[in-house]
Amino acid sequence: MVDACMHGRHAGPTRIDKWKRMGITSNDAAPRAVLLRFLFLLCIGCKCLASEVEATQTATLAVDASPQLARKIPDTLFGIFFEEINHAGAGGIWAELVSNRGFEAGGLHTPSNIDPWSIIGDDSSVFVETDRTSCFSRNIVALRMEVLCDNCPTGGVGVYNPGFWGMNIEEGKVYNLVMFVKSPETTDLTVSLTSSNGLQNLASATVTVSGESNWIKVEQKLVAKGTNRTSRLQITTNKKGVVWFDQVSLMPEDTYKGHGFRTELISMILDLKPRFLRFPGGCFVEGGWLRNAFRWRESIGPWEERPGHFGDVWHYWTDDGLGYYEFLQLAEDLGTEPIWVFNNGVSHNDEVDTVAIAPFVKDVLDSIEFARGSANSTWGSVRAAMGHPEPFPVKYVAIGNEDCGKKFYRGNYLKFYNAIRQAYPDIQMISNCDGSSTPLDHPADLYDFHVYNDSKTLFNMKSTFDRTSRSGPKAFVSEYAVWRGDAGRGSLLASLAEAAFLTGLEKNSDIVSMASYAPLFVNDNDQTWNPDAIVFNSWQHYGTPSYWMQTLFRESSGAMFHPTTISSSYSGSLAASAITWQDSENSFLRVKVINFGSDAVTLTISTSGLQASINALGSTATVLTSADVMDENSFSNPTKVVPVKSDLSNAAEQMQVTLAPRSFSSFDLALAQSKLVAEM
């Protein structure tokens, strides 16, 4: 080895020769070598530490908590925006396990594609096709299955549905199967929950279909005796003959409040403490073409009668089990204000001329009556029949989505605005036109502001509303996020820029009434838009750093805002805000600081004007950071980038803290008395 290493080079004195010249014998050479190596590393370490010290910046943050400068933040400031995108609803928060449950996804012309349904057996034993024989007039397509075999294979032949990339079936849980069936002869059907290849049987039951010409409703509970994350629903028989199926539904029994939503995903929403729910879009509301826009009327009533529709913007079918009523119910269950975004006669590719918009205006007035009307009103009675006799308190509506530049938007907008104002004068109406830099040319209570940008640009946009007029409509930042290159699939860097942007919204909350991140959810199997706040599949979920960032703003709505001043040569990389808030027992001064730069910062926080003393006991520091600014969370490491909370023993009116590079720090300083917050 020595010869090989020295080949072609001058072979100088060996390490043993050097030791001898230094008076080191072979007996004490090894320990002295270890000592020399230690001293060498120590020297390097000292140099590194010195370098780090030199790279540490200093800054002072002054918080003026005097009552005369305090300002109440709107109760509605931070909420959520839900759009049917990325299979966020169908195959997402809506717990329906069957995909294309009514066989309508292939279109009205039959025979049609029945994807993702498939057959069990082969074409010599079973023949399936769609026809137009359903008992439901609004979704007329059904599946006709003809069993051809006299001696069918063991286990029978039939059809199966894999759900949305596999059904999550868990041991001990109950699943409710509902389907509509017709057969001219009495037939036994076996309904089963199995593994994706059909070999593992998780639950099974036999149902008898009496031979008659009428459709019957079959209901069956299935109790899982095992767990499989990629299961499927099977319907099989051994009897030769014909059976029709329609509206096949499988729902887990344990949904949130029994209202059909996946409990674990709703829990993620609840942890944000949202104050409003904007729904159902987004571009989903507009449609690529008006014929594919979301229609509220077709999404209410019994689920089995809803026709569903193809969302041509995000390119998938929804059966609209998650419809207008369910969104209103979700808003109520979350304790949030519902914000109904409706189509104003404009899609991405076609528009209704203002002279012909009257039927669309009436349709929207009917939708509001459905939500707010008495149980005796025309549309309120439909809501009551669905199980909610009390009105839903809709106080906000958005007239379209991102349609300001369209030819007929302003004309259509005024028709909707005037009709709603006359019928419901208390409803706050939201324009699609941005009023942050120039006044609107039409009446509005709020205006939409959407921003998707790179991290550096969004960080610098924290001062966007500093220059906005203090009179006129309020801003609704209904969609914001870092995206594209430096967003990754949800990076720390993105969350830091977004946090800085939100501190600017807090600062300007006298003219910014609401804000929500977008998109909220993504099914990992259909990431049409990237990044998103919450990632899930059939059985797992995690929050991206952007989700966790929002948890540090969840106490801001309704809190008291206090002005802050940063003094530092490094201030261009810092953002901060301060609020006082209280939980059920204690009051806090929360100071949030974002260090967007690559240097650590020694920060002195100086607070004046507080009407209460700061108590170190109960004070905490919460920090969102990671080793690499592009770090992300994942199913394999869902907590790689999450806030870490610790006690803040040096909490005081003047204190010194260290901000890690590329970090978001939130300091909750416990107040010994609650006089200031009690006055909010």
- What is the average per-residue pLDDT within 610-618? 93
Place of tokens 């006055």: 679
Give the end of a domain, one of 220, 252, 284.
Answer: 252
- Are 204 and 287 contained in the same domain? no
* Among the ranges given (12-21, 226-235, 302-311, 464-473), the one the predictor scored with the smallest mean pLDDT: 12-21
User: In 3D, which of 274, 270, 205, 269 has the Cα closest to residue 234?
Assistant: 205
How far is residue 370's CA from residue 325's CA, in Å, rounded to a whole number?
9
- Are 281 and 424 contained in the same domain? yes
- Please give the pLDDT value at position 585: 86
- What is the average per-residue pLDDT within 605-619? 94
At 43 the three-state DSSP class reads helix
385-394 residue pLDDT tens: 999 999 999 9
What's the pLDDT band for 3 if we cut at 50, 70, 90? very low
The more confident residue out of 310 and 42 is 310
At 547 the three-state DSSP class reads helix
- Please give the pLDDT value at position 673: 64
Say if 442 falls within a structural domain: no
Instruction: Determine if the peptide bond prior to 643 is cis (ω within 30°).
Output: no
- Are 228 and 287 contained in the same domain? no
CATH number of the domain residue 405 falls in = 3.20.20.80
- Please give the pLDDT value at position 55: 65
127-155 residue pLDDT tens: 999 999 999 999 999 999 999 999 999 99
- Are 61 and 177 contained in the same domain? no
What's the pLDDT band for 53 if we cut at 50, 70, 90? very low
Say if 198 falls within a structural domain: yes
418-469 residue pLDDT tens: 999 999 999 999 999 999 999 999 999 999 999 999 999 999 999 999 999 9
Say if 97 falls within a structural domain: no
- Are 279 and 319 contained in the same domain? yes
- What is the average per-residue pLDDT within 525-554? 97
- What is the average per-residue pLDDT within 514-540? 97
Give the end of a domain, one of 398, 432, 466.
Answer: 432
This prediction has a pTM of 0.90
Say if 407 falls within a structural domain: yes
The answer to whether residue 299 scores a pLDDT higher than 90 is yes
Residue 452 neighbours by CB distance under 10 Å: 15
User: In 3D, which of 632, 570, 567 has the Cα closest to residue 598?
Assistant: 570
Give the end of a domain, one of 391, 414, 432.
Answer: 432
Say if 26 falls within a structural domain: no
- Are 234 and 281 contained in the same domain? no
- Please give the pLDDT value at position 584: 86
At 556 the three-state DSSP class reads coil
- Are 246 and 281 contained in the same domain? no
CATH number of the domain residue 166 falls in = 2.60.120.260
How far is residue 214's CA from residue 240's CA, in Å, rounded to a whole number?
19
Which residue type is seen at 493? L
Domain count, the chain: 3
- Are 365 and 231 contained in the same domain? no
- Are 61 and 126 contained in the same domain? no
- Please give the pLDDT value at position 14: 35
Say if 105 falls within a structural domain: no
Catalytic residue positions, numbered: 402
Q: What angle do CA 623, 625, 628 make, to 5 degrees?
A: 170
544-601 residue pLDDT tens: 999 999 999 999 999 999 999 999 999 999 999 999 999 988 999 999 999 999 999 9
Write out the residue range of the structural domain in which residue 142 sits. 118-252
- Are 303 and 371 contained in the same domain? yes
Q: Average pLDDT of the chain?
A: 91
The answer to whether residue 650 scores a pLDDT higher than 80 is yes
Say if 621 falls within a structural domain: yes
Say if 566 falls within a structural domain: yes
What's the pLDDT band for 211 if we cut at 50, 70, 90? confident
- What is the average per-residue pLDDT within 481-500? 96
Q: What angle do CA 534, 535, 537 make, to 5 degrees?
A: 135
How far is residue 301's CA from residue 376's CA, in Å, rounded to a whole number?
17
CATH number of the domain residue 64 falls in = 2.60.40.1180
What's the pLDDT band for 248 if we cut at 50, 70, 90? very high
- Are 418 and 292 contained in the same domain? yes
- Are 283 and 422 contained in the same domain? yes
How far is residue 457's CA from residue 464's CA, in Å, rounded to a whole number?
11
Q: What angle do CA 142, 148, 151 make, to 5 degrees?
A: 135
Share of the chain above pLDDT 70, in %: 91
